[in-house]
């Protein structure tokens, strides 16, 4: 089993920044692709970003490209999501997840097996 704990969420004004962290335990993070997803009220869980094992490849959802940056520190078993130029539509619960399947797109949440409990991000206008 792998446990994931997100932190860093909060309330921020539009145009501001937040940095989310996802600390992993139970398994070695470097063996997995990691992803961030988000879910707003009454909406489907949406792909935000993903990163390959050593961080050489990153992937982003269209709505966050150019504003968000995913990174990882395998020595600390931690994944980060730097969020800049935040918009009210970025308001959601943000989840980190561990990819355990490699049979479909990196943006497919079905490829991810372990999930954190989520951290709330609220962007005010």
Average pLDDT, the chain: 96
DSSP-derived secondary structure for the chain: --EEEEE--EEEETT--EEEEEEEESS-GGGSEEEEEEE-TTS--EEEEEE-TTSS-EEE-TTTTTTEEEEEEGGGTEEEEEE-S--GGG-EEEEEEEE---SS-TT-GGGEEEE---EEEEEE-
Residue 55 has a pLDDT of 86
Tens-digit pLDDT profile for residues 48-94: 999 999 888 999 999 999 999 999 999 999 999 999 999 999 999 99
Residue 9 has a pLDDT of 97
Tens-digit pLDDT profile for residues 86-115: 999 999 999 999 999 999 999 999 999 999
Residue 1 has a pLDDT of 87
Would you place residue 124 in the very low, low, confident or very high pLDDT band (cuts 50, 70, 90)? very high
Residue 66 has a pLDDT of 97
């Amino acid at each position: 089993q792998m446990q994931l704990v997100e932190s860093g969420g909060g309330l921020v004004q539009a145009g501001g920044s937040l940095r989310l962290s996802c600390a992993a335990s139970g398994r070695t993070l470097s063996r997995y692709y990691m992803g961030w997803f988000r879910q707003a009220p009454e909406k489907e869980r949406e792909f935000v970003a993903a990163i390959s094992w050593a961080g050489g490849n990153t992937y982003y959802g269209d709505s966050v490209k150019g504003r968000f940056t995913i990174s990882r520190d395998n020595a600390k078993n931690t994944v980060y999501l730097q969020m800049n130029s935040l918009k009210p539509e970025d308001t959601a619960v943000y989840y980190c997840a561990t990819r355990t399947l490699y049979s479909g797109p990196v943006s497919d949440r079905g490829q991810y097996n372990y999930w954190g409990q989520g951290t709330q991000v609220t962007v005010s206008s």
